[in-house]
Structure 1
Amino acid sequence: MSFADKARNKVDELTGAAKERIGDVSGDDRMRAEGAAQRGDARARQAGEHVKQAGRDAKDAVTR
């Protein structure tokens, strides 16, 4: 996973968290839901990247 991918996922996660909090404070359920979804998407992408990296690491360990 490249640094750019990690940074993009982190920015999306933080943006989602901010939207979620703004929605909570303002009582805007749509904003809160949008933020929760954005944060969840970013976490899922990050988890997928971790799985791919673990697969690469396992492959490298076997081929050595």
Structure 2
Amino acid sequence: MNKDHVKGTVEKAKGKVNEAVGRATDDPEQELKGDVQQAHGEAQKKVGDTKDAAKDLKKGH
């Protein structure tokens, strides 16, 4: 696990909170913001996965 995984997980959590607040307050803009944050967090986690995979490949050779 690297810093990209942590940042991605935090961003996804913030997105889930924003989405829930948007739903609870009937604020579609807030809900959309949460969805976007979750997608950004997932992308950040995938960057971390890619970096880990590259590091593993480098160690193997």
Task: Place the TM-score, normalised by the shorter chain, in its bin.
Answer: 0.7 to 0.9
- Identical positions, percent: 22
Q: Select between 32-41 and 6-15 the one with higher mean Cα deviation.
A: 6-15
Q: Does 1:8 align with 2:7?
A: yes
Listed as ranges, the gaps of 5+ residues in structure 2 are: none
How many residues matched?
60
Question: Aligned-pair RMSD on alpha carbons?
Answer: 1.4
For residue 34 of structure 1, what is the aligned residue in structure 2? Answer: 33
* Distance (whole Å) between structure 2 residues aligned to residue 17 and residue 51 of structure 1: 24
- 1:52 maps to amino acid: K
Q: Would the aligned equivalents of 2:9 and 2:41 in 1 still touch at CA under 8 Å?
A: yes
For residue 43 of structure 2, what is the aligned residue in structure 1? Answer: 44
Task: Find the structure with the greater CA-based Rg.
Answer: 1
Listed as ranges, the gaps of 5+ residues in structure 1 are: none
What is the CA deviation profile of residues 9-58 of structure 1, one whole-angstrom value per residue up to 9, with x for unaligned ones? 22221111010011112110000000110111011011111011101101
